Amino acid sequence: MAYDLTNFLVIGISSRALFDLSMENEIYEKQGLEAYCKYQLEHENDILQPGTGFALIEAMLKINQIDNENRHIEVVIVSRNSADTSLRISNSIDAYKLDITRAAFTGGEPVAKYLNAFDVDLFLSATEEDVQAAVESSVASGLIYGGAPKNQPKKLQQIRIAFDGDAVLFSEESEMIYQQQGLNAFIEHEKLNAGLPLPEGPFAKLLKTLSYLQFQLDGIIEGPTLIRTALVTARNSPAHERVIRTLRAWNVRVDETFFLGGIPKDKILASFAPHIFFDDQHRHCDEASRVVPTARVPYPKKETAE
């Protein structure tokens, strides 16, 4: 019988998002593919250090150990490496005892076209071209920010994920009004539409999946919820009402909500300590990545008239 991934939360992650391959990538960029391949083959038994996305993947996979009767999470390596250079990645996965058995190694070709074949719900990569292409394929995707944040996620029983609102959980419609017409126009628009749920953004489906998974797991384990989510948004009153009514209309659970009114997000995020934070603005991601693992959600490219 064929193995069906449609009932799982499937995370696709590149090797550079899972492991720290910054030095190896520098070899590739400065010395070329041949030098990179040679280095990887010579060091294929050297275990790689964890990358920005490692803590999230490690934590999510442990859900499968908690519920012995049902498997909830699948992780697929989606990489531009070749099969020949992939052994170092596989050896590192084995060394950290990560339950990852599926992979796509495309030998330098773009990877986005294979994501839907694996039923990927979330794609994380350090290659902007691949993330952008995944966004165009309607896959929730984040561009991983490199560097080690000050607050590495602790090995807690609880998995913590933080989201921005506009252009992440919700569509970019309101964000565009703010950018093009200013704050006053944005506030007026949100007040007039307070009772109208915001259109879904690229991560709405993921939030709904996590909310459903929370419900399932709460019936299995005792004590604090295993997954805890947070909304960290620059909105404040009166624009907060539409957000609350939207989440209510979606029938989803968000455990903590922060309406910051434009103040920096990094201190709130440092306190919440998520395994990952998703935002659409480079400025916010740059600040956040210094304290917590962070990924930027690109805008879809708009078709332009010729």
* CA angle, 154 then 121 then 295, to 5°: 50
| Token code pair at residue 138 | 């309607």
Q: Are strands 294-296 and 140-144 parallel, antiparallel or unpaired?
A: antiparallel
Q: Which residues of 191-229 are buried (b: 16+ CB within 10 A; e: fewer)?
A: eebbeeebeebbbbbbbbbbbebbeebeeeeeeebbbbb
Dist. CA 94–CA 17, nearest whole Å? 17
H-type alpha helices, 251-281: 266-272
Which of the following is catalytic: 130, 164, 266, 279? 164
Q: Is 286 one of the annotated active-site residues of the chain? A: no
Among residues 261, 239, 115, 264, the alpha carbon closest in space to that of 170 is found at 239
Give CA–CA dist 67/271, Å, rounded. Answer: 29
Cα–Cα distance measured from residue 26 to residue 84, given in angstroms and rounded to the nearest whole number: 19
Looking at residue 297, the DSSP 8-state letter turns out to be -
Distance (Å) of CA 273 to CA 104, 158, 162, 297: 31, 11, 9, 19
How far is residue 43's CA from residue 155's CA, in Å, rounded to a whole number?
28
Which active-site residues does the annotation give?
164
